[in-house]
Chain A
Amino acid sequence: DQQVKQNSPSLSVQEGRISILNCDYTNSMFDYFLWYKKYPAEGPTFLISISSIKDKNEDGRFTVFLNKSAKHLSLHIVPSQPGDSAVYFCAASGWNAGNMLTFGGGTRLMVKP
């Protein structure tokens, strides 16, 4: 049973436009959510996180939105740049999850010049 799902395996966006990556979760005990960016053959790079006490967190071009009632979070990248092309993973954890991160399956973002 996948507790964290990224339903879009890929997304293509024009440079300068907004990229919106979505993530859904089922476990209501999750209270901390993270987005990671991954290039091929490299480790995931932490991008941004959000605690369940917030509904928005912003860091430069990256904004994460959390809708707890819908168990849905999204990552907005604006403006999108070709260097943003990578696989993006959302992940979730919680106080009762110990040290464990539960990852979604990833979304491949392609930003076209």
Chain B
Amino acid sequence: DTEVTQTPKHLVMGMTNKKSLKCEQHMGHRAMYWYKQKAKKPPELMFVYSYEKLSINESVPSRFSPECPNSSLLNLHLHALQPEDSALYLCASSQGGHGTDTQYFGPGTRLTVL
């Protein structure tokens, strides 16, 4: 089983709203990732959690706040977003967070910021 689940599937929010994206995996993976993908572009890495600790933050604006409550769950808290933040947000996980681990992606959350 290589399933990563994400909720919600779609999200529309105003610029003053606070919302959260959720990601879950039950593969026993110890590394989890958030990516942002714009149309016709490859995924861009935002954050990496390795063994529940934030290991990589790719200079993402503070209006995006990640949280890893446990090894199976990953959240992305959103606040005061801009319309240009509209994108597909992808969660991924891998076994140990090593450079030769395969990352498995969830279906994504399509976010629209009005």
A-to-B contact residues, CB < 8 Å: 31-32, 34, 36, 41-46, 49, 51, 89, 93-101, 103-106
Interchain CB contact under 8 A, B105 and A36: yes
B-to-A contact residues, CB < 8 Å: 2, 4, 6, 31, 33, 40-43, 45, 48, 50, 55-56, 88, 90-92, 94, 97-108, 110
Q: State the CA gap A69–B16 with chains docked (Å).
A: 52
Interchain CB contact under 8 A, B100 and A98: no
Interchain CB contact under 8 A, A100 and B108: no
Q: State the CA gap A19–B55 with chains docked (Å).
A: 38
Of A49, A96, A106, the residue contacting B102 (CB under 8 A) is: A49
Interchain CB contact under 8 A, B100 and A51: yes
Interchain CB contact under 8 A, A98 and B56: yes
19 contacts between A and B (CB under 8 A): A32-B99, A42-B108, A43-B105, A44-B90, A45-B105, A46-B102, A46-B104, A46-B105, A98-B48, A98-B97, A98-B99, A99-B33, A99-B55, A99-B56, A99-B99, A100-B45, A100-B99, A101-B103, A106-B40
Question: Which residues of A have CB within 8 Å of B106?
Answer: 43
Q: In the complex, which residue of chain A has the Cβ closest to the Cβ of B4?
A: A43
Question: Which residues of B have CB within 8 Å of A99?
Answer: 31, 33, 48, 50, 55-56, 94, 97-99, 101
Distance in angstroms from B88 CB to nearest chain A CB is 7
Distance in angstroms from B66 CB to nearest chain A CB is 14
Q: In the complex, which residue of chain A has the Cβ closest to the Cβ of B31?
A: A99
Of B2, B6, B42, B91, the residue contacting A103 (CB under 8 A) is: B42
